[in-house]
Amino acid sequence: MNAARDAGESDATVLTGCTVVDARVLDGVAPLPDAAVWVRGDRIAAVGPAGEVLAEAGAAGEYRRVDLGGAYLTPGLVNMHTHLSLSLPGQGGDTVKGLNPHELAYYMADGARRTLLCGVTTVRCVAEKDHADFALRRAIASGQAIGPRIFTAGRALVSTGGHGHEGTDTLECDGADGFRRGVRSQVKAGADLIKVMISGGIAGQHEAIHTRQLFTDELTAVIETAHAWGRKVTAHAGPAPVIAEAVALGLDCVEHGYQLTPEVTAAMAAQGTALVPTLLVTRCKEFFDELGVPEWMQRRSLDAGPRHLDSYAMALAAGVEVLLGSDMPPFWTFEGTNASVRELEHMADSGLGPARALHAGTLGPVRWLGAEADLGTVELGKYADLVAMDADPLASASAFRGVRWVMSGGRVVRDDQTGWAAA
């Protein structure tokens, strides 16, 4: 992504033949047809009518011109529930668990590259094995690997025997002091946020979705310690009672929320607690079959689907901020597209609509991450993390199925017209 440019190649590019669209449409900023975007280095230097931008760029010196052929140009997607080292129960997961540290690094790097090429330019990792995510983040930032911008929680915190305890992507803790140490250990490693498992889930054979896994003093310790260090906290959580308690204590985000209630969603909206619903995880039999996921987990997942969708509807009705997150690997080919786009379609089609879905997949996550000064819109000064597609994303979230051009930090990493894709 950040590889050196060819000798003599300008670091300025003007993108033409496009309509610029981003989530500011919800604030009254209309799409800009016949637009041009001037990219200088890794950031956007100007956005506006093509003639004006071309004149401005020309006055500043040489540039390359890229005609996008009438495409819609948007910010890249942000996937807020990513596991590049995911290993579910079953044969596919066992293969990942069996990788040695060197093999795991290559496996995750390949997943990062594939994630970027499908148009996801930023991810939030919420439990990765062996702290390999930190090495991968450094490699991408230095240009040694190709992938999205990474915000990561490091290892997720769990109680002894809690959800996900079997893997090296979690850290078992007990008691308030133990969980305080857990938070600090992830911050020490370089975590941007903290992930904690506060209930059971789909993938734990000896638990139920509604199983409570932290006591109040432990949950308080996680949230207080993380906030003291300037880190937000997101929680794997299914049932309403434990979510209600966590929200009252200041929880910043809920993952999944399988069993919400109107009372809990109202509290989430009032507190400003976001929801990453991961609707895919209760409607992905094809994915489970591909990985050889056992029948007990498939049944638990698929049977939870109707209640999960009801919970999502309650969150929308209450005005909870919902954010894109697939849980499945972001790049995974699924139902004719990739997991990130399929999740966005579910969110849009289940009540969010395409304009708000664009916000949920771009600016909303960026604001939660505190990165809105650099990402999330097509504006002067932002990183040039951009994707182009032929269909209008304001007409349907399915437009993202047709992403055919991707730029990350001012570098084109995919261009279907020329057949170029970063390898």
pLDDT in tens, 315-361: 999 999 999 999 999 999 999 999 999 999 999 999 999 999 999 99
Helices (H) and strands (E) in the chain, counts: 14, 19
Give CA–CA dist 117/112, Å, rounded: 9
pLDDT digits (tens, 9 = 90+) for 259-274: 999 999 999 999 999 9
List per-residue pLDDT tens for the chain, 423 residues long.
333 344 334 689 999 999 999 999 999 999 999 999 999 999 999 999 999 999 999 999 999 999 999 999 999 999 999 999 998 889 999 999 999 999 999 999 999 999 999 999 999 999 999 999 999 999 999 999 999 999 999 999 999 998 878 889 999 999 999 999 999 999 999 999 999 999 988 777 777 778 888 999 999 999 999 999 999 999 999 899 999 999 999 999 999 999 999 999 999 999 999 999 999 999 999 999 999 999 999 998 899 999 999 999 999 999 999 999 999 999 999 999 999 999 999 999 999 999 999 999 999 999 999 999 999 999 999 999 999 999 999 999 999 999 999 999 999 999 999 998 987
Which residues fall within 8 angstroms of residue 6, CB to CB, at 6 or more apart?
A: none
Instruction: For residue 241, report the phi and psi dihedrals to the nearest 5 degrees.
Output: -60, -45
Query: Whose CA is closest to 314, among 256, 255, 265, 254?
Result: 265
Q: State the distance between the two ends of the chain, measured CA to CA, in whole angstroms.
A: 10
The helix (H) or strand (E) run that includes residue 20 is strand 12-20
Considering only CA atoms, which of 95, 105, 90, 281 is closest in space to residue 201?
281
Here the contacts of 171-174 (C-beta below 8 Å, separation 24 or greater) are: 173/218, 174/218
**Encoding tokens for residue 180?**
């305080």
Give the per-residue pLDDT at 328: 94
Which residues lie below 8 Å from residue 93, measured CB to CB, with a gap of 6+?
A: 86, 87, 291, 293
Rounded Cα–Cα distance for residues 337 and 420 (Å): 19
| 3-class SS letters over 92-121 | HHHHHHCCCHHHHHHHHHHHHHHHHHCCEE
The enclosing H or E element of 387 equals strand 386-389
Judged on CB neighbours under 10 Å (0-12, 13-18, 19+), 167 is: buried
Max CA separation in the chain (angstroms): 67
Rounded to an integer, what distance in angstroms lies between the CA atom of residue 322 and that of residue 280?
A: 14
289 burial type by CB count under 10 A (0-12 exposed, 13-18 middle, 19+ buried): exposed
5: amino acid identity, one letter = R
Q: Yes or no: say if 401 and 336 are a contact pair by the CB < 8 Å rule.
A: yes
- Go through the domains of the chain in sequence order and give each one's CATH number: 12-76+376-421 (2.30.40.10), 77-369 (3.20.20.140)
132: tokens are 């390999």
DSSP E strands in 167-304: the ranges are: 170-173, 193-197, 232-239, 253-259, 274-276
Global pTM exceeds 0.75: yes
Q: What angle do CA 299, 300, 302 make, to 5 degrees?
A: 65
Q: Among positive and negative, which fits the CA dihedral 336, 20, 355, 231?
A: positive
What are 205's two structure tokens?
């054979």
CA distance 306 to 273: 23
